[in-house]
Amino acid sequence: MYPLKYRRANTADIEHLVILINQAYRTNTGSSWTSEQNIVAGDRISHQQLLESFKQITSLYLLLRFRQISNLM
């Protein structure tokens, strides 16, 4: 079993997070846990929207890594 590692996401992660979030909600290919494709058009979140969210004092994004499969972390 791989150890779980957490870290606080930062603005350097935004590009990867936007891709991950949009893929999770906007595709219907079996790689997403749900699809809003038929309800909402366009991306769920943009780089600018996520950046603004990071600036909020009440926002906290945590990344979890259970094994290294990409350069995201």
Least confident stretch, 4-13, 34-43, 59-68: 34-43
Are 31 and 23 within 8 A, CB to CB? yes
DSSP 18-47: HHHHHHHHH--SSSSS---TTT--S-S--H
Select the more confidently predicted residue: 68 or 12.
Answer: 12
CA atoms within 13 A on the CB side of 70: 9
pTM for the structure as a whole: 0.69
pLDDT of 73 above 50: no
Structure token pair of residue 64? 């979890």
**Total residues found in the chain within this entry:** 73
DSSP bridge partners of 65? 5
Q: State residue 11's pLDDT score.
A: 93
